[in-house]
Amino acid sequence: MTDPFTVSILLIAFLAFGGLSMGLAMICGSSVYLIMRGFDPSIASETLLQGLFNSYTLLAIPLFILAADIMNIGSLADRLLRFSQALVGRFKGGLGHVNVVSSLIFSGMSGSAVADAVGMGKIIINMMTKDGKYTKSYAAAITAASATIGPIIPPSIPMVLYALVSDQSVGYLFAAGIMPGLLMGVAMMTMNMIIAHRRGFDVDEAIPLRDMPGVTFRAIPALLLPVILLGGIYGGVMTPTEAAAVAAFYALAISVVLYRSVTAGQFFETLLASARSTATVGILIAGALTFQYVVTRENVPDQLAAFLAQYDLGPVGFLLALNVLFLVLGCILESGAILLIIVPIFIPTAQALGIDLVHFGVVCVVNAMLGLITPPYGLLLFIVSSITKQPLGKIVRDLLPFLFALFVALGIITFVPDFVLWLPRLLGYKG
């Protein structure tokens, strides 16, 4: 007799590679499993509703998406980019540094790599290629690579997804992402400087120091957003979900009232775009919650733990194997699917090996983000290729040095947990 779980997996793979969204594919595969097992198919709906109703934190996702979309249509991105240019634009490979720094700053508001690449990315790519100082493929490569930093530094939609499946504190996960995000930024800027010297990139026109106070002043309202968010969360004033609501309201308020850069028509279009993005994420979460029931029924986590125990990997070997697996999966699966489907299977094993789950979450999220730029799938690669009209092959060639730098950073993040957990412990984390 055909095994229902095998049929479910094959059906999900067939539907997903056939063009159906991963969320819907998982719902279909899970429903077929329930029918073949003789269970009531309504269990899928019940599991989904219980998962959603018990996860107040999930409300943060559509609110962070809305905040990012509002920042993209307002002038916040322009002001932040100008501020970044004033900070690091005067150095060798200046606009490359600006690209990375702007991602670091913008990430403190949107929590989305795609939002960073589509919004800030378009602007900086145009700046880099305008006078022919940088090739389009190089501008696309560094833009895609720097966008992966966004969801590591808080606020972070992937961290919220990990909190959903691991039952860990969103606040501590946010704190744990700060040092790794900064490390990734430094690694990329170092590689950009090396490439700038090798290729003889011109030093970009610097913003005069006398203009710094004015540039900074105009950027202050935008720069205050991450301060308000993180201060509110770690000060105990707001939950992460409430902070997401504040982020959306604050972005709208300063864009409409202070900067007067958003019209009613633009805001309506932004609401529609945010709703579409939220629906996409929502379907993925729905499918993952349903499929998790199937995985639990089949006792997959315990079977996996028993299988790995045969090889006596230990924490270091387990994390190394996991990094390799996630980077391979990143070639074919989107980051949300990895975090919601694959990661929960490994959480019991990580706990059994004594791996801190906040540290484990950061490792998983970093891997999932690097999957966004891992050929051949790499969603961010397709986005920047579409923006620049450059062949994927040329972009990948220019991306490889940045991938190497990010892999070095990933090694430190993976095997030096104290580096990741230093800030959460400073804020009271007992792990």
pLDDT value of position 49: 65
The predicted-structure confidence for 187-236, as pLDDT tens digits, reads as follows: 999 999 899 888 877 666 667 777 778 877 877 877 777 777 777 777 77
The residue among 338, 316, 337 whose CA lies nearest residue 411 is: 316
Look up residue 132 and give its DSSP letter.
S
Given a cut of 60, whether residue 110 has pLDDT beyond it is no
pLDDT value of position 404: 94
* Cis-peptide, bond into residue 4, ω within 30° of zero: no
pLDDT value of position 71: 72
Helices 343-352 and 357-370 pack at an angle, to 10 degrees, of 140
pTM score, whole prediction: 0.79
Q: Alpha carbon of 288 to those of 119, 284, 285, 359: distances in Å?
A: 28, 6, 5, 22
**Which parts of 167-199 fold into alpha helices (H)?**
170-176, 178-199
How far is C-alpha 148 from the geometric centre of its chain's CA atoms?
6
Q: Going by C-beta distance under 8 Å and a sequence separation of 6 or more, which residues neighbour residue 268?
A: none
Given a cut of 60, whether residue 1 has pLDDT beyond it is no
Look up residue 339 and give its DSSP letter.
I
Given a cut of 60, whether residue 43 has pLDDT beyond it is yes
Q: Alpha carbon of 297 to those of 36, 37, 291, 302: distances in Å?
A: 13, 10, 10, 11
> How far apart are alpha carbons 361 and 347 in whole angstroms?
9
> How far apart are alpha carbons 220 and 128 in whole angstroms?
25
Q: Alpha carbon of 337 to those of 65, 96, 140, 158, 214: distances in Å?
A: 18, 31, 25, 10, 44
The predicted-structure confidence for 161-196, as pLDDT tens digits, reads as follows: 898 888 888 889 989 999 999 999 999 999 998 998
pLDDT value of position 77: 67
Under the banding of pLDDT at 50, 70 and 90, the label for residue 324 is confident
Characterise 206 by phi-psi region: left (phi > 0), alpha (psi -120 to 50), beta (else): beta
pLDDT value of position 401: 94
Contact 350, 360 (CB under 8 A): yes
> How many of the other CB atoms lie within 10 Å of CB of 19?
7
The residue among 366, 414, 80 whose CA lies nearest residue 216 is: 80
- Annotate 367-388 with b (16+ C-beta within 10 A) or e (fewer): bbbbbbbbeebbbbbebbbebb
